[in-house]
Chains A and B, each alone.
Chain A
Amino acid sequence: MTMHVPVRLGPAELKLIEQLSAAGAVAAAERLGGAGLPTRRVEAYHYTDLKLLLRAVPELAGAAEAASAPALRVAGAYQLMIANGVVQETGTAPAGVIVGKSAGSVLTTRDDVVTRLNLALTRECLTLDLDGSVDPVIQIDRRTEGAAGHSTSAAKIFVADGGSAVILETYSGSEAAHLGNHATYLALGKGAKVTHITVNLAAKAATHFASNEYHLAEGAQLRTLIINAGGALSRTQLFPRYEGAGAHADVTGLNLVSDGQHSDITMDALHAVPHTSSKPLFKSIARGRSKAVVQGRLVVARDAQKTDAKLMSQGLMLSDEAEILVKPELEIYADDVVCGHGSTCGRLDDESLFYLTSRGIEKGEAETMLVRAFLAELVDPIEDAALNEALTAVIEGWLAGK
């Protein structure tokens, strides 16, 4: 056994340990007590030093009493809700959808504090079984209501072989300094085609953690759009697993950060078998004194020949005080693969701005046009018109300073 120098624990860590112990998660509590929250020295948290950034943890959230307005409404969507971790009753499910709930959380165990907290503290999860071509957009609305609370939630979604679905998850709640920790397990059967969109609209003072685990069987096609627009501190972790030949994902994500916000999208992908492909594309727009983080790790297993994976990260800085931090990592054990990464970061192009303004378009509007242009690649592939409109509204709202 290695000896560790005892770590000095802060109030956030002490509160988490107390909550873990009360939930009976003795091992997790001990682990946190020994190591503390991850600092920048932990590679996966290099730019999101939780020990520094997570200063306080509220009491575990009780049952939700009042409900705030839905964060995002999409015409025609089938709505499900998890409020303060509790799966809510819903109306009749559309054809091909079976809604249920089961005990515990949904994530695969891994050496990660956010995952460990979700696994230990989540009492129940929403389960969804999707079969055939599911017509309406399925929305899982996750809320944290009432006074500041620590709330964890989970959803487990199976899409049958050949099935298709569009799933939207939204995270919001009352205006309090909540700590939300949400998990999604999404398994795509053979040839299944899924669009998974998550929109973090957590309150300004809130901390938002989300972990999405994806399992892709043979020929499965996934597109994600992970939007971090809310919260003081946000971290969305993506764990795609390519487990069948022909599986492909366009993993896309967007950090929209304003003054005082810190948002992180961290992907850790595993291409486990031969002939799989992925095109992760992450964008960040930062204004005011803010920080956006994108970490992308591609692991290609030794057997996973013919993997084709291209990771791209693009940043747009709208102020001098903003920071966009990007860390790609390739870990390739197979020898016959096409893998790469690239990143760009800059400001709005002066030449383009001049061209637009020279036609009479005011500077502010011209800037907005260029920001929209920067984001078009992420939003345009969302085919459902009502959903596309709702996402555009989120972005426009952010641009308008809301």
Chain B
Amino acid sequence: MTTPMLEIRDLHVRIEEREILKGVNLVVPKGEVHAIMGRNGSGKSTLSYVLAGKEDYEVTGGEVLLDGVNILEMEPSERATAGLFLAFQYPIEIPGVATMTFLKAALNAKRKANGEGELSTPDFMRAVKEAGSALHIDSDMLKRALNVGFSGGEKKRAEILQMALLKPKMCILDETDSGLDIDALQVVSHGVNALRDPNRSMLVITHYQRLLNHIVPDVVHVFSDGRVVESGGKELALELEAKGYAGFDEVAA
């Protein structure tokens, strides 16, 4: 059996004495796209932050393996250069940091970790321009400070732009569809689908079946009260949409 891209074993996480994740088990094999659905406050974003290495969370038990390597002791930057990418539910605005400066720093950090030299400015510009036009991102937006004054939809597109440039092997998309209009949803989904690859896996967190019509998942997981309570094919999303979460809470109880 090949090593899964992501394997989460019995992960327990606390914030300020309160247990939020209560034994998450999840396996995403290489090349697959998995969706996580679950009601507000069930711990989906917490899971994505813990995977990316945010502080303030206390991991009290369990393991997280990225391509077979335990990442829980790694710094966020090390996890990123190891191939993990989180598209934030709420991307952070950083005044004073130019978007292009940031993109270049991120790309070069990855190249450095891979033992490659820095990207030349023309090569960098070309890469950004290509990835940007595929996502309908105009170059004026990239001249601004990072995420500052971007609309909700522009922020989400900028996240996917970063993902396209950094070419991670494990992508976590936290509600990338929220705040997108119908056309933008098409554009972003197209961008994400273009990145589907046998050597890349994705974990797509969403509330809406609609997104999964565009980004068709291999597996859907239902998240409830800090753990995965049900997993199934893409039809599970339709079932959820019809029945709501109530039916699944019983499974958890």
Give the distance in Å from the alpha carbon of A321 to the alpha carbon of B75 in the complex: 26
Stretch at the interface among A173-181, A269-277, A355-363: A355-363
Bound-state CA distance A370–B105 (Å) is 13
A350 at the interface (CB under 8 A from B): yes
Q: Which residue of B lies closest to A365 (CB)?
A: B105
State which residues 357-376 of A face B: CB under 8 Å.
Answer: 357-363, 365-366, 369-370, 372-376
Q: Mark B68-102, 1 if CB is under 8 A from A, else 0.
A: 00000001110111000110100110111100011
Kindly report which residue of chain B lies nearest to residue A376, judged by CB atoms: B96
Contact status B97-A370, CB under 8 Å: yes
Q: Contact size class for B?
A: 20 to 34
A352 at interface by CB-CB < 8 Å: yes
Chain A interfacial residues counted at CB < 8 A: 23
CA distance A363 to B53 in the complex (A): 12
Judged by a CB distance under 8 angstroms, whether B201 is at the interface is: no
Cα-based distance from A355 to B49 in the complex (angstroms): 10
B102 touching A359, Cβ below 8 Å: yes
Check A358–B76 contact: CB distance below 8 A: yes
Interface flag for B109 (CB, 8 Å): yes
Is the C-beta of B229 less than 8 angstroms from some C-beta in chain A? no
Task: Give the distance to chain B from A332, nearest Cβ to Cβ, in Å.
Answer: 31
Pairwise interchain contact A360-B80, C-beta atoms closer than 8 A: yes
Check A359–B106 contact: CB distance below 8 A: yes
CA distance A62 to B16 in the complex (A): 64
A372 (CB) vs chain B CBs: closest residue: B96
The reply on B160 being an interface residue by CB < 8 A is no
Pair B55/A374 contact, Cβ less than 8 Å: no
Evaluate contact between B96 and A361: CB separation under 8 angstroms: no
With a cutoff of 8 Å between Cβ atoms, the chain B residues found around residue A259 in the complex are none
Bound Cα distance A233, B105 (Å): 36
Q: CA–CA, A350 to B57, complex, Å?
A: 13
Known: A354-B54, A360-B106, A365-B109. A373 touches B96 (CB 8 A): yes
The A interface, classified by DSSP as helix, strand, loop or mixed, is helix
CB-nearest residue of chain B to A369: B97
- Of the residues B92, B95, B109, contact of A360 by C-beta under 8 Å: B109
Q: Establish whether residues A354 and B96, one from each chain, have CB atoms under 8 Å apart when the complex forms.
A: no
Contact check, A356 vs B102: say whether CB atoms are below 8 A apart: yes
Which of A352, A361, A369, A376 makes the CB contact (< 8 A) with B77? Answer: A361
Q: Which residues of B lie under 8 Å from residue A350 when comparing CB positions?
A: 55
From 238 to 287 in chain A, residues with beta carbon under 8 angstroms from any chain B beta carbon are none
Contacting residue for B92 out of A355, A369, A372, CB 8 A: A355
Bound-complex Cα distance A359 to B145 (A): 16
On whether the beta carbons of B109 and A374 are closer than 8 Å, the reply is no
Query: Closest approach, in angstroms, between the C-beta of B96 and any C-beta of chain A?
Result: 3
Choose from B75, B88, B95 the contact partner of A357 (Cβ within 8 Å): B75
B80 touches A358 (CB 8 A): yes
Given the known inter-chain contacts A354-B55, A356-B102, please indicate yes or no for A362 contacting B77, CB distance below 8 A: yes
**Contacts A354-B54, A360-B81 given; does A369 touch B88 at CB 8 Å:** no
B92, A357: Cβ atoms closer than 8 Å: no
Residue in B closest to A350 when the chains form the complex, CB atoms:
B55
Instruction: Give the residues in chain A near B95, CB-CB below 8 Å.
Output: 373
B188 within 8 A of partner (CB) = no
How far, in whole Å, are A375 and B53 apart by their CA atoms in the complex?
Answer: 28
Query: Which residues of A sit under 8 angstroms from B105, Cβ to Cβ?
Result: 356, 359, 361, 365, 369
- Interchain residue pairs with CB less than 8 A apart (26): A350-B55, A354-B54, A354-B55, A355-B91, A355-B92, A356-B97, A357-B76, A358-B52, A358-B77, A358-B79, A358-B86, A359-B77, A359-B80, A359-B106, A360-B109, A360-B110, A360-B113, A361-B77, A361-B106, A362-B75, A363-B77, A369-B102, A370-B96, A370-B97, A372-B96, A373-B96
Q: Which A-B residue pairs are the 9 nearest by beta carbons?
A: A373-B96, A360-B80, A360-B109, A359-B106, A357-B76, A355-B92, A376-B96, A357-B77, A360-B81
Q: A358-B54, A366-B77 are in contact. List 19 more A-B contacts (CB 8 A).
A: A354-B52, A354-B92, A355-B94, A357-B53, A358-B52, A358-B86, A359-B80, A360-B106, A360-B110, A360-B113, A361-B77, A361-B109, A363-B77, A369-B105, A372-B96, A373-B94, A373-B145, A374-B96, A377-B96
